[in-house]
Amino acid sequence: KRMSVSREHRGRGLARALCREVLAFARARGYGAVVLSTSMVQVAAQRLYEGQGFRRVGTSYPSLLGTLLNFQIFHYRCELGDGN
């Protein structure tokens, strides 16, 4: 459900490696795409996902309060193709 790297281990490429592994796992099992969501404040996560081929496909608000505060959730999708 969530992916995170603890602060003391950040900056070593672990999140990028985990993301690549998730994509390879899904691709090997025949999935056509991987979808995920992250909040507007998770800028490093957005850069990571976009760098791995994810494209933003939508936005939403988590609650009425989120709407009032303009706190958005960004939705991403990575098309996996056939692996060839």
| Residue in the structure block whose two tokens are 């592994």 | 21
Domain count, the chain: 1
- Which pLDDT tens digit goes with each residue over 44-82? 999 999 999 999 999 999 999 989 999 999 999 999 986
Residues pairing with 38 in the sheet? 74
Q: Are 23 and 80 in contact (CB under 8 A)?
A: yes
Q: Does any domain span residue 84?
A: no
Residues pairing with 73 in the sheet? 39, 60
Domain interval for residue 52: 7-79
Q: Does any domain span residue 1?
A: no
The number of residues in the chain equals 84
Q: Does any domain span residue 2?
A: no
CATH code: domain of residue 69:
3.40.630.30
Q: Does any domain span residue 71?
A: yes
- Which pLDDT tens digit goes with each residue over 16-54? 999 999 999 999 999 999 999 999 999 999 999 999 999
* pTM summary value: 0.86
30: alpha, beta or left? (left if phi > 0; alpha if psi -120 to 50): left
